Structure 1
Amino acid sequence: MESAAGTVADSGNTRHKVIAVAAGEAHTLALSGDGYVYAWGRGMFGRLGTGSESDELFPVRVKFQDSDLKFVAVAAGAYHSLALADDGSVWSWGYNSCILFTVQFVISAVIAGGMMSLAIDNLGALWMWGNCPQENSNGDGSLTFVSSFTPIPVWDFHGHTVVKVACGNEHVVALVSAGEKHKGDDLVCYTWGSNGHGQLGLGDTENRVRPEMVGTFNHDFQWTVYEVACGAFHTALLTRKKRPSDTVESLCWTFGLGDRGQLGHGTTQTVLVPEPVKELPHPVYLVSVDCGLFHTSVVSSAGDVWSWGMEKGLGLCPDASFTGTDSGDAISPLQISGDGVHGPKFNDPVQVSCGAAHTVLVARDGYKLWSWGRGRSGVLGNGKTVDCFAPSIVLWPPLNEDFKQEELNQPDKTVDKKGSNEDSEMEKKISLAMEEMKLLQSKLSTMERYASILHCSIFGKPFEEQDIPNSLQNSGTYDIAREWESMLESADHRKLVRLEMFYRNMLAGVKDKMMKKRIQEIIKEYLPPSTQGK
């Protein structure tokens, strides 16, 4: 569920290009090529950085005290957000957060977990703050978690280089160089923290106060780890064959809690040591992996996306799930197809990021974003608050940013007083238009939720775009008699039985209400006026 992002690329990137995303419990962050941070989704605890706790259904730019800052990395925890500026300062907002720190070293990466934050500096040292694993003060060597409001160094890796790190609810996984400097395929995997479900991959369920090497990926192993991600109580790793190798291929390994199929092994069993996800196709090269609370997603270099875990790999919680024959967790990888408009694949993928119950994908070399899963609070960034069971386009770039840029690009723009007044009036018009659009989108979202509830109660599955009748799609008019006949003709026996039961119950309810009203009328008719209403 934690996310981290790398640095801003060269000047060839445009302002509309997303170079990284980070998904939290119910909010999403995006980092644009020109160094700005955008946020959308749930606003509780101020995790969006907009100055309020209101939800945002579309991406909005995060405003910082220093407007000249450019940012190079973002990360999202459960209820807080992190951003790394190009001057080395780390900024945070949300639950129990503030501007954090500036050190004498350059910070190269920031990472956020449930209630924990981490950073790697340019010398390869690891820092952490928040809910940090520590040895219990009673001296028995047991694990406890202590709140640290300032970053503290992890001294265990002194003399080595920490290259990548991830954290779940209460466990940490780090990829560290075998020697002093990182060289090629020399990364070693260390884990520590809570281990009640085997999420440390050490073969047992004992907690670890200090980092311990995962023995599966030792020096003699033919695969080397290059990516790592943590869910609430499970871990996923990507490995590639050590050089020299004739093939470019990789494997995804998972371990820890498997009760919702989040390990992708074809079972719901907990696994204490890393095991490969065997049902992914071979050969394939995976460029990104991430974990939600109870689901896992990967994307290949060819643009294929697979997910597994809770509710068909979407991560949906039980209170927002499929029904009928489509319900159930995906205990093996399921391929996520494209939206049809842009094709079945997500070409030129950049990154996949999982929130608690939603997934965001950056593809088309950073110019397109898709999202799916739980949609409440606008976390999917598509202007809706309903769940999406298939990829939907995130509104990117934000409309207001586009409007402003178009105005700036007008060739006849002048800087005189009249021009300034015109600019001010245009800004007001844009602002009013955006507010009206948000209001209309809110009304549309409410209507969609209402339609989805009705559709689900009748047909036993959430309303989707393909459920819109053809006559309405093609002409804008709705022939209810013809569509009703067509629906009955295409329905199978199970659907017809469900319809019969629904309308029988509805008719019974109407008759019951009619009877009650008729009884009330008779009573009113025959009772003396003085006794009515008593």
Structure 2
Amino acid sequence: MPSAASGRGGGTSTLFAWGCGEDGQLGAAEAPTPGATETNDWCVEAPRAVELGESASGVIVSACAGSRNSVCVTTRDDSSSCEAYAWGWNSHRALGFSYEECDELHVKTPKRHSSMKTEDGERINVVAIASGGWHAVCVDSDGVAYGYGGNEYAQAGPPDANAEHRNTSIPDRDWAPIRALLWPPRKVSLPAPVAQVSCGGMSSFALLHDGRVFEWGQTSEDDEPRTAPRQLDAKDKHVVEIAAGSFHLLMRTRNGEVMSYGNGSYGQLGLGATGAADVCRVIETFGRLGVVKIAAGGWHSAAVTAGGVLYTWGRGEYGRLGHGDDVKDKVVPKLVELDESVFIADIALGGSHSCAITAEGNVLSWGRTTLGRLGRVIRDPSSSTCGVPSRVAFPPLPNGKRWKALKISCGGRHTLAVCTVSTDDADVPTA
């Protein structure tokens, strides 16, 4: 559900961010505490509005928190055109700006794409962007996918014949030249229009409108990089949603089943054991529960059923699975125990934290507590773990109004939430 974009955080809706901001991924020009710098971790411990700029207009159709950067796309009410914004870590051209537009390593505030173009000079009307480790894939209004950024494993797209000999003008954190780069954005050759894209650490995935799923790059470190898109065998099932973790993939089928593929070192595939799966397999736990939403994080996974019930599995460290004091890894999905009145509407997973949206539009967070990941102040210095989903408090509004979350995306160490103003009563148990 789209919401009205507000360039200055006013009006009836806005984009909020919290967590680690050392790379500019929170869209804040200045650090919130004196002395914090790009080389000294700093954070925002509660939701703070992101200013898209005075000229921002339309509705937010997508927002993505990447590993160390952020992107969002807005469209006008008549859907005639879209505008893309990006900020944060710009190594490997990961933000999608040309050298003329931006040569900064850290883009501290949202920057609008004046015009993203292909290598042939054609303008790309971007409607969605997915960010990976240091690459990205965007989709245009015709359902065509384009990759750009770091391409060491062909994760952005078919490698440039000259990639190994091309250096950028921007050094990486170790001040060594970046050599494997795909720029300008290059079309990914796929047999049908794209419905959704999702990026892992070194791989990319595309869901086509006809229900097929394709991958390229390197999903598992044990595999050779795939330099051209390869169709995944979904056992003739029609896939309607995909979610890429760092090194694994979840797929939701039209019948509400969940399939998994890739690295399963911590049980994140949900197949009953650790270890990789080189073919797509159905997670048997869900049976006929009817899954309506999936999410994949660094090393953990989640699913929401039609009844608003949340399941998590995979790595349990820091309480990221939401099972209280139980921080053990889970090789099969386990129900997250919440108050019976809580209905989960959406879920997002980050590197080591998790967030959910309830039917009332409240945001719950849990997992690793450091660097403001959870969007709420936690003053227990003895533990970096919070395994109990609890409500995130947004800035107060006058006249009994409140912020209602519509979309949420967790990155490596930060979170983005698209919210609208609501007058509904949300004083119901949230955990």
Q: Does 1:78 align with 2:67?
A: yes
Within 5 Å, give how 1:25-36 maps onto structure 2.
Answer: 34-36=12-14
Distance 1:92 1:261, change over 3 A: same
Task: Give the corresponding residue for 1:115.
Answer: 134
Any conservation in 2 of the 1:293–1:315 contact (CA below 8 Å)?
Answer: no
Q: Aligned partners of 2:18 and 2:370: how far apart in 1?
A: 11
Task: Give the corresponding residue for 1:351.
Answer: 346
Task: Give the corresponding residue for 1:47.
Answer: 25
Task: Give the corresponding residue for 2:259.
Answer: 253
One-letter code aligned to 2:347: V
Q: Does 1:126 align with 2:158?
A: no
Any conservation in 1 of the 2:320–2:386 contact (CA below 8 Å)?
Answer: no
Choose between structure 1 and 2: higher strand proportion: 2
Task: Give the corresponding residue for 2:418.
Answer: none
Unaligned runs of 5+ in 2: 32-41, 76-80, 96-106, 117-122, 165-177, 402-431
Choose between structure 1 and 2: higher helix proportion: 1
Identify the range of structure 1 (382-391 vs 42-51) with the bigger mean alpha-carbon deviation: 382-391
One-letter code aligned to 1:61: A
Corresponding residue to 2:241 among 209, 220, 227:
227
Task: Give the corresponding residue for 2:275.
Answer: 269
- Structure 1 residue 35: deviation in Å? 4.9
Task: Give the corresponding residue for 1:360.
Answer: 355
Distance 1:374 1:137, change over 3 A: same
Corresponding residue to 1:236 among 233, 236, 250:
250
Distance 1:61 1:139, change over 3 A: closer
Q: Aligned partners of 2:330 and 2:378: how far apart in 1?
A: 25
- Structure 1 residue 68: deviation in Å? 4.1
Unaligned runs of 5+ in 1: 1-6, 16-30, 178-185, 199-204, 242-249, 408-534
Any conservation in 1 of the 2:24–2:88 contact (CA below 8 Å)?
Answer: yes
Distance 1:333 1:345, change over 3 A: farther
Any conservation in 1 of the 2:163–2:179 contact (CA below 8 Å)?
Answer: no
Corresponding residue to 1:102 among 115, 132, 141:
115
One-letter code aligned to 1:389: G
Task: Give the corresponding residue for 1:380.
Answer: 374
Corresponding residue to 2:185 among 142, 151, 155:
151
- Structure 1 residue 163: deviation in Å? 0.7
- Structure 1 residue 138: deviation in Å? 8.1
One-letter code aligned to 1:188: R
Any conservation in 1 of the 2:127–2:139 contact (CA below 8 Å)?
Answer: yes
Task: Give the corresponding residue for 1:165.
Answer: 197
- Structure 1 residue 176: deviation in Å? 1.6
Within 5 Å, give how 1:522-533 maps onto structure 2.
Answer: none
Matched length: 336
Task: Give the corresponding residue for 1:213.
Answer: 231
After superposition, the CA RMSD in angstroms is 3.2
Give CA deviations for 1:346-371 in whole Å, capped at 9, x if unaligned: 32x43211000111111215x21111
Any conservation in 2 of the 1:90–1:102 contact (CA below 8 Å)?
Answer: no
Q: Aligned partners of 1:32 and 1:187: how far apart in 2?
A: 39
Distance 1:258 1:33, change over 3 A: farther
Q: Aligned partners of 1:370 and 1:322: how far apart in 2?
A: 14
Task: Give the corresponding residue for 2:425.
Answer: none
- Structure 1 residue 108: deviation in Å? 2.2
Corresponding residue to 1:60 among 42, 48, 64:
48
Task: Give the corresponding residue for 1:191.
Answer: 215
Of all paired residues, the percent bearing the same amino acid is: 24
Q: Which has the higher contact order (CA 8 A, sep 6+)?
A: 2
Task: Give the corresponding residue for 1:330.
Answer: 330
Q: Aligned partners of 1:125 and 1:286: how far apart in 2?
A: 28
Distance 1:312 1:305, change over 3 A: farther
Give CA deviations for 1:232-274 in whole Å, capped at 9, x if unaligned: 1111111123xxxxxxxx1111111111111111111211101
Any conservation in 1 of the 2:72–2:129 contact (CA below 8 Å)?
Answer: yes
Distance 1:110 1:346, change over 3 A: farther
One-letter code aligned to 1:308: W
Any conservation in 1 of the 2:203–2:217 contact (CA below 8 Å)?
Answer: yes
Q: Aligned partners of 1:195 and 1:162: how far apart in 2?
A: 20
- Structure 1 residue 328: deviation in Å? 2.4
Q: Aligned partners of 1:32 and 1:315: how far apart in 2?
A: 32
Corresponding residue to 2:16 among 34, 38, 41:
38
Distance 1:145 1:228, change over 3 A: farther
Distance 1:113 1:257, change over 3 A: same
Give CA deviations for 1:134-182 in whole Å, capped at 9, x if unaligned: 4374899xxx98334543322x12x6201111110011111124xxxxx
One-letter code aligned to 2:288: P
Distance 1:52 1:138, change over 3 A: closer
Distance 1:111 1:105, change over 3 A: same
Q: Does 1:289 align with 2:321?
A: no
Q: Aligned partners of 1:42 and 1:313: how far apart in 2?
A: 17
Q: TM-score, normalised by structure 2?
A: 0.70
- Structure 1 residue 33: deviation in Å? 10
Q: Aligned partners of 1:46 and 1:34: how far apart in 2?
A: 25
One-letter code aligned to 2:293: S
> Secondary structure of the residue that 1:377 maps to in structure 2?
helix
Q: Aligned partners of 1:227 and 1:150: how far apart in 2?
A: 28
Q: TM-score, normalised by structure 1?
A: 0.57
Any conservation in 2 of the 1:292–1:315 contact (CA below 8 Å)?
Answer: no
> Secondary structure of the residue that 2:257 maps to in structure 1?
strand
Q: Aligned partners of 1:130 and 1:362: how far apart in 2?
A: 31
Structure whose alpha-carbon radius of gyration is higher: 1
Q: Aligned partners of 2:197 and 2:280: how far apart in 1?
A: 17
Give CA deviations for 1:261-317 in whole Å, capped at 9, x if unaligned: 11111111211101111123x31221211111110011112110011011179448x
